[in-house]
Amino acid sequence: MLEKEASDLLETKAPISVAIILVFRPGDLGLEFLLAERQDAKFKKKLACPGGRLELGESAAEAAQRELFEETGLAIVPENLKEIKVSNSFIWDGRSKYKFYFFSLFFSGDDIEIGNPEGKHEWSWYTLDQIYELVEKNLLLPISLTFFQTVSKDKIENLLYS
């Protein structure tokens, strides 16, 4: 009985809110997206978009701005972010429920200097074809995987530019 009550409690508690930023630019082979190869032990060799949890009192756009700066050194204003609505923005990992806020950020050139202020990530640009190969091989973190599994490759450009 106690296990059932604990399970019910976990399922009803407020979700952990996370902001994810899809940083993209035009490339020779179409759109390219910024992904990091994680260096921490838990997710070593998995790739992810920039992002992280919202802090108390932060809006999702403010969290996206802060996380992008902390992880890449890129300073932006929240108004430069475009929120992307997707149908599957919740994940239950067996312990917690996560609510995702997805944002896109467009860069028009290749003169972007991506840093590594936290020393946790190795940043690279990936085409959509490369990303969907990573999806098939399960090499993305669940938060990034959720987006690319929910949105088909042929619909991404419309979603980003609409």
Cα–Cα nearest to 67, from 32, 20, 106, 33: 20
Query: What is the pTM assigned to this prediction?
Result: 0.81
The band of 157, judged by pLDDT with boundaries at 50, 70 and 90, is confident
Condensed to tens digits (0 to 9), the pLDDT of residues 95-109 reads 778 888 889 999 876
Condensed to tens digits (0 to 9), the pLDDT of residues 53-79 reads 999 999 999 999 999 999 888 888 888
Taking the alpha carbons at both ends of the chain, their separation in whole angstroms is 49
